[in-house]
Amino acid sequence: MRRVPLLLLLCGAVAADVQDLQSRVFHARDRVLPALVNVQVVTETFQGGRRRQMTAGGSGVVVSADGLVVTNFHVAGHAKKVFCTLADKTRVRAELLGGDPSTDLAVLRLDLKEIKRLGGSFKVATLGRSEGVQVGDFVIALGSPFGLTASLTSGVISNTERYLSSSQRLPTGEPTGMFNNWIQTDAAINPGNSGGPLVNLSGEVIGINTRAITGDGLGFAIPVDTVKRVYTQIVAHGSVVRSWIGVDRGLEPLGLESEVRGVRVGHVDEGSPAAKAGLRPGDIIQAIAGKPVEAVHLDQIASIRSTIADAPLGKPLTLRVRRGEETVDLSAVTERLGALKLEYFDARRFGLTARPVTERFARQRGLKSTAGVVITGVTGGGPAAAADLQAGDIILKVQRKSVESLQSFRKLYREIQKDMPEKVLVSIQRGQARMFRALTPSKKDEEDDE
């Protein structure tokens, strides 16, 4: 008989806890849902050697009173037109301020005049901190899955520093995930949720939803501390400026068995500041700018890359290095990490699309310069395909004139359009080999070329 009152007390306590959790979810929802926006974009894709326009969608969150919205780069980073639907169903134009493919973030500016004219309104979400997030914290994820209107899912934080391979690329081709780990959650993140906020029960944004492994309960968000750093630079400069010394791709964890602290250098880019400073593969970096660094596991690498990227540009960066039994101090003068956003050109009468040779691409391929353009696709049965040009070839010359950049390639292409020769001589590099190809440009007057 004595157990009955105790059972009732326990049931009452559980009910009270459930009610408290429900109240906190409602509180978090009401603080952030009015700041949620549905993002619709008109963008361009370059597939199969052709440029095509397409519409896409995602989510975003208003983070300032002057209408600035944070979303994903893969949602809006290449947008030609952007429209945002506010929580009150008002649909307005927006402007892309800039983006950062490395962290998959972009910033939009809402048209405040249009919002006022249409009688719309929005609220501003509060950006919290991700540093104190713990495994097991309850969270809600907001967004517009599958093009539907505002949706809420809930769950917990599964991991606070999830490492995802740094070799991953966005749908538009840019590398991403080099400088941050991810918050993992089991709150459902479906297609269309990208760019929406991950929110704690205090109603603060702690991350931006980015990707998921559909059906497995694995969702990933960019930590808000990363978001704030990137957002500040995009608003100020339109992009993120990062320092580079030439070891981004070559840092390796030492593992638990190592008696030495630090991070191993597996590769040093040829001609890079690190190479000029004397850094060698096999060296162990133990401190950067006087700050000790350590990587036992892969998930510690991103923060070390970020330490280098955040170093002052064009200034000496001191590296304390363990080499065998010896410890030496090296000084590498940082250079700017090249822009990672890719620009494409549709050379329709050649039957191919191309993009610049970026500094990063040149380093990876061991090229001595960024001259030329990279073929990204060829049209089946088109002039480029008939001339045995392939995706990945680097065009160095057209009609014996050097191609220094994508802009110079555009100029040469337009000159050829005016003259319309029977054959166009193209010099390419394929792997380590250089060769010539002669293509017959199409004379068909298709859609206007760029």
The CA distance from 330 to 346, in Å, is 45
**Is position 137 annotated as part of the catalytic site?**
no
Distance CA 118, CA 86 (A): 12
Asked about 283 being catalytic, the answer comes back as no
Identify the helix (H) or strand (E) that includes residue 115: helix 112-118
Q: Is residue 175 within 8 Å of residue 190, measured between CB atoms?
A: no
Distance CA 267, CA 274 (A): 10
Q: To which residue do tokens 């495994």 refer?
A: 135
Q: Give me the catalytic one of 74, 151, 346, 427.
A: 74
- Given 3-state DSSP classes, what are the helix, strand and coil percentages for the chain, each rounded to the nearest 5? 25, 35, 40
Closest CA to 364 of 234, 178, 99, 240: 178
Instruction: Map residue 285 onto helix, strand or coil.
Output: strand
> Which residue among the candidates 78, 100, 102, 104 is catalytic per the annotation?
104
Catalytic residue among 144, 166, 194, 306: 194
Helix or strand holding residue 346 (H, E): strand 345-347
CA distance 86 to 194: 16
| Size (the chain), residues | 450
Q: Is 74 designated active site? A: yes
Residue type at 86 in one-letter notation: L
Contact of 229 with 247, CB cutoff 8 Å: no
Residue 208's contacts (CB-CB under 8 Å, 6 or more residues apart) are: 61, 70, 71, 72, 105, 195, 196, 197, 198, 221, 222, 224, 227
Q: List the catalytic residues.
A: 74, 104, 194
